[in-house]
Structure 1
């Protein structure tokens, strides 16, 4: 349960940090003269606090959904780390409602964050269309590494956490990509 909590805690923080990074890119590219006011030390501290709080709330909800389940034999999961779906396969009770709650929590957090992220990038693309080719190229190169990580992380996280009742053998490998590779 500690592994479940910490995995979702840091995963939730990563989702929120990636979204806030898109906000930072938006402020940098679309309002460069106001950047120091928009991203003041106080605002950055508030953003980091919000990321940690959001990660904690997400992780606590995942933890509370699984901690009270009755588990049967066998007690080994077919996964690299203790995640919610492999744990639900071990439960002795009906987990349909819990699966829906997991989708509502993990899936909606990832989906809403991804949509917000894409909106920031849409506004960036919309604003740079009036820039010169050199300035546009510089602005897009600023965003390219972030976009690559976002696509890698969110595509895999959404694929794993929005499905209803199925787990696939390839979920283990995909989980490595969105928990370790994207973070690196």
Structure 2
């Protein structure tokens, strides 16, 4: 090869590697609206049992998450009915979410009455650690219907570390590193 051909090849290879790297990093960054929902869940949960995020992993097969895998659902959706709606829980003082949580542009009021549609479009697996040695796993999920979409938080029905939990994580493609 000539020197010019080699330089062109190296240039385009570098651009390709850089682009692939950006796509990989972007694919492992939780979307802003999902982060908002996770923040609200953590604030709600921390009022009784503090926890911090240890690991965040995007599920590779979100369409495999079923209603039966979810033990509880959290959110303040105007569309979908959750077990816990943050706006209707006494003694939970949420700050002005529009300024405290990046990505949130308005606060909504009301409670959804539509059952949560499964499977979700997107699933993020979150490993939490609290004051106790026990780990907790939650899923931040994007549920969509014909006209609506909302991010919600689900607690799986299975206990972390159990065979059922390992099966759920494998089924939806979440490679969380448990027990570390």
TM-score (norm 1): 0.27
Q: TM-score, normalised by structure 2?
A: 0.27
Where is the strand percentage greater, Structure 1 or Structure 2?
2
